[in-house]
Chain A
Amino acid sequence: MTIALQGRRVLVIEDESLVAMLLETILEDMGCVVVGPESNIDDGLIAATGEASLDAALLDVNVAGREVFPVAEALRARGVPFVFSTGYGEAGLPEHWRGHPTIQKPFTEGAIRDALMKAMNISLV
């Protein structure tokens, strides 16, 4: 459990259920509340714009053959911090999103926690 992330509502977008289940397990272990997980861009957009309370999001870049960036834009417009997850690492991101917190598949719990805290601008003193 990570105190800083305790009770945070984290939206997960990931098309493969087993990977989504892994993220869920890891996030729940850290004390987060998982919103979703959503398996496609359309449902992801509905959640990103419609969910009343979101503290952060974990976005798979390639969701069933479509790119997740519209959801990223919607979250940015709302001021919700997010982390990309991708098989390619940061090099797989288009120019526009380079430098954004990113985790690479397969994940470690530590990498997810660090990326989330970086995106949410939380630092441990």
Chain B
Amino acid sequence: MLLDAQLCYAGMNQAYLDVTHRRREELLGKPVLQEYDAGPGEEAAENNRQLAASFEKVLTTGQSDHLAVLHYPIPIQNAEGETIYDNRYWSATHTPIKDESGRVTHILQHTTDITELERLRRQVARLRPEETTSALDSLIGGGMFRRAMSVQADNRRLETERRQLMDMFMQTPGFVAVLNGPQHVIQLHNGSYGQLIGHRDVLGKPIREALPELAGQGYYDCLDDVLATGEPFQGRQSPVQLQQTPNGSLTTRYLNFIYQPIRNDAGEIIGIFVQGHDVTETVVAAERQKLMIDELNHRVKNTLATVQSIAMQTARSHDDPRTFAETFQSRILSLSHTHDLLTRSHWEGADLREVLEHETTAHGLHRLTLNGPNVALDPAMAVSLGMIFHELATNAAKYGALTPGEGRVLVDWSVADLNNPQLAIQWREMGGPAVAPPERRGFGSRLIERNVRHDLAGAVQLHYRDDGLTAEITIPLNKEAA
């Protein structure tokens, strides 16, 4: 009897039809497991399961399987039209038939009806119960039959173990697959492997057909090498481009895996065992960490260079070490305050009002009026504006409206043009001593002008008026668009 890969009848000879009391046209194309069951009785379910398991084993391993003794009654209609069961014992061999690529396309079932042998043995045993093993018994094969039963019992036990191993294999969190023959036909794989390849139907297909996107990525050659040399291959954090969604673009995954050759009893390499883990998350996390360390290093070194610059420029305008130390320290502290603000938001940014408050509270809150909407500043803008406000406030405290007296500072800001947002800030001092443009531009005013123009791509105007200094600053909030 011949079955196709879906376990449907593909053909049978007359002897099979005679024994089963069926007609060929009834059976062709029908699933064998539907057409037959093991009839009544306690062992029926187990017998059915054994038969199905044997077919499945042949399909997945591509190797013959034997059932030494199978109790499988044949349903027949008696004269009254009732179904009765004709108790029969079989010995069956299931042989795979493969196509060129090694895929199992059919299963040939060869059965021997050993019912008569079993009946004869039972008769003898009834007639001579005292002789467990008579000469006749051994002559007609009773001993052989018993041995066959015991082999079959062993087979059942092995089958159970095989099934348990297979379950472990299928459920392991790593991916697992077995490739067969020179074309690396995917014989079986577990759920993790299925997930990795986007749950495509690849069983029974050669790897080049099953996973065509691997072309040019080195994996085919590697498999060919393992098969040719018998040397296992180990991949570590190996990048692979995979089609994980139908018609989607390829995604990069990183895999730790091993290709282990599978040998037959004669020691020949017949396939490859593939086993591994998707370590993409680990690789991505390590890359992110490296990026962060590089970024940290960049910021630290740039900050040190900034501090170096502040030291050098401050030194040039202070001959007295005491006033140098004072001015230098206050500039460094201002920088440090802005960093504190940014650290609170994990360096995502800071609000303009917060930056302003940070730099001006030391001069007395009642003397400053801050008025404007919330404006989110990116870290670089926050650092620049922090330094700018520090210079303005220090200057006001030294020469302007924040010197002891009644002077005040009004800071107003607004955002105009929402398509290309511009932040306009006005720093207006009043009520302080009259100011005049400095004769020599000091570091403070140079810092303000350079910072606005260079770092913020904006514009600044400083007006030294009789009633106090006014600074007007405009900055594009979206530097990319500017």
Contact = CB atoms under 8 A, between A and B. Distances in A.
B297 A107 contact: no
B451 A106 contact: no
A21 interface: yes
Contact of A25 (B305, B312, B384): B312
Contact of A87 (B298, B313, B384, B451): B298
Contact of B302 (A19, A25, A92): A19
A15 interface: yes
Interface string A19-36: 111100100000000000
Interface residues of A, number: 21
B284 interface: no
B304 interface: yes
Given A22-B312, A88-B294, A107-B308, A17 B301 contact: no
Given A22-B309, A105-B305, A106-B304, A62 B298 contact: yes
Contacts of A19: 302, 305-306, 309
A106 to B, nearest CB: 4
Interface hub of A17, A39, A62, A105 (most chain B Cβ within 10 A): A17
**Majority DSSP secondary structure for residues of A touching B:** mixed
A64 B308 CA distance: 20
B457 interface: yes
A84 to B, nearest CB: 13
A22 B304 CA distance: 12
Contacts of B450: 17-18, 20-21
**Majority DSSP secondary structure for residues of B touching A:** helix
A92 B380 CA distance: 22
Interface string A29-72: 00000000101000000000000000000000010100000000
A105 B301 CA distance: 6
A21 B446 contact: yes
Contacts of A18: 305-306, 309-310, 387, 447, 450-451
B297 A17 contact: no
A90 to B, nearest CB: 13
A16 interface: yes
B436 interface: no
Contacts of B453: 17
A106 B457 CA distance: 24
A20 B447 CA distance: 11
A104 to B, nearest CB: 7
B268 interface: no
Interface residues of B, number: 28
Given A22-B305, A105-B305, A106-B308, A17 B455 contact: yes
A88 B446 contact: no
Interface hub of B307, B312, B316, B384 (most chain A Cβ within 10 A): B312
B461 to A, nearest CB: 17
Interface string B137-168: 00000000000000000000000000000000
Given A19-B309, A20-B450, A21-B450, A87 B302 contact: yes
Nearest to B309: A22
Given A39-B455, A87-B297, A88-B294, A21 B302 contact: no
Interface hub of A21, A39, A62, A92 (most chain B Cβ within 10 A): A21
A105 B455 contact: no
B366 interface: no
A82 B143 CA distance: 96
B312 A16 contact: no
A105 to B, nearest CB: 4
Given A17-B455, A20-B450, A104 B301 contact: yes
B454 interface: yes
B455 A25 contact: no
Contacts of A20: 450, 454
B300 interface: yes
B278 to A, nearest CB: 30
Nearest to A23: B309
Interface in B340-371: none
B297 A16 contact: no
Interface in B281-306: 294, 297-298, 300-302, 304-306
Nearest to B455: A17
A22 to B, nearest CB: 4
A52 B250 CA distance: 48
Interface in B18-57: none
B294 A17 contact: no
Interface string A67-106: 0000000000000000000111000100000000000111
A19 B307 CA distance: 9
B454 A17 contact: yes
B297 A88 contact: yes
A88 B298 contact: yes
Q: 10 closest pairs, A vs B, by CB?
A: A87-B301, A22-B309, A17-B454, A105-B305, A17-B450, A106-B308, A105-B301, A18-B309, A106-B305, A106-B304
Interface of B: 294, 297-298, 300-302, 304-310, 312-313, 316, 380, 384, 387, 446-447, 450-451, 453-455, 457, 479
Given A16-B455, A17-B453, 8 more contacts: A17-B384, A18-B306, A18-B387, A18-B450, A86-B301, A92-B294, A105-B304, A106-B301
